[in-house]
Amino acid sequence: MTGPDFDDTFRTRLDQLFAWRRDVRHFRRDSLPEGAIDELLDLASHGPSVGNAQPWRFVRVLSPGRRAALAVHADAHKVAAGQAYDDERKALYDRLKLHGLREAPEVLAVLCDEPGAAGQGLGRMTMPETLCWSVIAAIHTLWLAARARGIGMGWVSILDPAAMNALLDVPDDWRFIALLCLGYPADESETPELVRHGWQDRLPAAATRFNR
Amino acid sequence: MTGPDFDDTFRTRLDQLFAWRRDVRHFRRDSLPEGAIDELLDLASHGPSVGNAQPWRFVRVLSPGRRAALAVHADAHKVAAGQAYDDERKALYDRLKLHGLREAPEVLAVLCDEPGAAGQGLGRMTMPETLCWSVIAAIHTLWLAARARGIGMGWVSILDPAAMNALLDVPDDWRFIALLCLGYPADESETPELVRHGWQDRLPAAATRFNR
């Protein structure tokens, strides 16, 4: 079988997609088109998974009460995590917006169903963490597919994962991975927000590449 | 700032890229173009990372002796992991090719530099595992960028991660994440090899999506 022949025009656009994907925290409030979330989840389900285990479980948060509880929870954890910084960095930290849980039109939680995973254990006997890593690749697929549709995504990790299963009313043995906000971004940039705010620059290539 | 306006033509091709990305274990032996690996790693470095920590460390395995040792190691672990299966499944398992470490023109190891990560701890105080998860997103970016250039990638996880740092001669406090084979695939398919071989089918959407 011969696959699609991707050309230079496509590659140029794909490289722009990588460059313009952002972790979005500022959202417009308008809704996504009908069916957009299902389309994105169809694409995310083409992400790689160890042994084809497909352990991702996507929970669309529709209840306003549940969403409000998630926002309150994340706000409290932002305050708690801020105690670690000294004065100057703390002032910068306090100005960072770290989630759009109140504004984004869609909130998804993503979990890893470790006991329910398919794939007969293939590829994960010595590295069991590859199962949850498969969920990360699905989330990243979702991120890119969304951005190609003009939809921004933000990953919220400033929260207590142990509190999430009860809050989301999902089985205790699913491992919580991520809380995602989706919606149209209030603005677009090729530069990550944390670079623009002086939190953390990009590293030079030489710091991350080695020959052996 | 306004980003690129991705159109339907691009989205159709992107969706094909997701569908035709494969975990490749059968490689042709011809080399990749000069500079291809650096170009792919430039793109991978645009992957998301918690607090912009960029904890990925890429090790290009150039030494023939080191590569041979990795192949012997993976073969031994394939045999060991096979003991878990009963007769019928074991026969199928034995027929699966699980790595192309001898044939692929390029082998990359990927690790997570936990102590050396940038980003001032942002976003990972309650979920420290998000640091290594950032490396997974970089690997997936590399996977897609490679496939758009006709280059296949295979992720090898049937090995002992505790043995890898010495074998790769990298610092002990880098966490081993993945061994990747890269090269032109011997064949292409829209269907995962594990589906074609009857190991594990795709799951129905309803098994992985929930509303709350």
* Segment B53-92, tens digit of pLDDT: 999 999 999 999 999 999 999 999 999 999 989 988 999 9
Give the nearest partner residue to B118 out of A38, A158, A203, using CB atoms. A203
Give the separation between CA B40 and CA B147, rounded to whole angstroms.
10
Which pLDDT band, with edges at 50, 70 and 90, does A72 fall under?
A: very high
- Contact at CB, A52 and B210, closer than 8 angstroms: no
Nearest to A126 by CA among B84, B199, B108: B84
- Contact at CB, A157 and B50, closer than 8 angstroms: yes
For residue A118, pLDDT over 90 is answered with no
Give the separation between CA A104 and CA A146, rounded to whole angstroms.
14
Give the separation between CA A191 and CA B3, rounded to whole angstroms.
11
What is the structure's pLDDT at B116? 83
Average pLDDT of chain B is 95
For residue B150, pLDDT over 80 is answered with yes
Give the separation between CA A66 and CA A76, rounded to whole angstroms.
16
Give the separation between CA A202 and CA A194, rounded to whole angstroms.
10
* Chain B hits for A4, Cβ within 8 Å: 13, 16-17, 20
Which pLDDT band, with edges at 50, 70 and 90, does B137 fall under?
A: very high
Chain B interface test: which of A73, A158, A188, A201 (most B C-beta within 10 Å): A158
What is the structure's pLDDT at A34? 95
* Segment A143-178, tens digit of pLDDT: 999 999 999 999 999 999 999 999 999 999 999 999
Helix, strand, coil percentages for chain A (3-state, nearest 5): 40, 15, 45
* Chain A hits for B42, Cβ within 8 Å: 205
Give the separation between CA B19 and CA B190, rounded to whole angstroms.
6
* Segment A96-111, tens digit of pLDDT: 999 999 999 999 999 9
Report yes or no: A13 and B4 within 8 Å, Cβ to Cβ: yes
For residue B42, pLDDT over 90 is answered with yes
Which pLDDT band, with edges at 50, 70 and 90, does A2 fall under?
A: confident
- How far away is chain A from the Cα of B205, in angstroms, using its nearest Cα? 7
B64-82 and B87-95 helices, crossing angle to 10°: 160
For residue A26, pLDDT over 90 is answered with yes
Backbone angles phi, psi at A179, to 5 degrees: -115, 125
Q: Identify residue B45 by its one-letter amino acid code.
A: S
- pLDDT (average), residues B112-118: 89
DSSP B185: B
Give the separation between CA B2 and CA A16, rounded to whole angstroms.
13
* Chain A hits for B58, Cβ within 8 Å: 208-210
**CA triple B102-B103-B108, angle to 5 deg:** 75
- pLDDT (average), residues A116-129: 89
**CA triple B134-A36-B136, angle to 5 deg:** 10
Determine how β-strand A152-156 pairs with β-strand B209-211: unpaired
- Contact at CB, B48 and A155, closer than 8 angstroms: yes
Give the separation between CA B141 and CA B159, rounded to whole angstroms.
23
* Chain B hits for A203, Cβ within 8 Å: 45, 54, 118
Which pLDDT band, with edges at 50, 70 and 90, does B144 fall under?
A: very high
* Chain B hits for A74, Cβ within 8 Å: none
Report yes or no: B188 and B197 within 8 Å, Cβ to Cβ: no
Which domains are assigned to chain A? Answer: 23-186 (3.40.109.10)
For residue B146, pLDDT over 90 is answered with yes
Question: Which residues are paired to A179 by β-bridges?
Answer: A109, A156
Transcribe A21-85 into DSSP letters: --B---B--PPPPTTHHHHHHHHHTTS--GGG---EEEEE---HHHHHHHHHHHHHHHHHHHTTS
For residue B1, pLDDT over 80 is answered with no
Report yes or no: B209 and B103 within 8 Å, Cβ to Cβ: no
**CA triple B156-A52-A40, angle to 5 deg:** 115
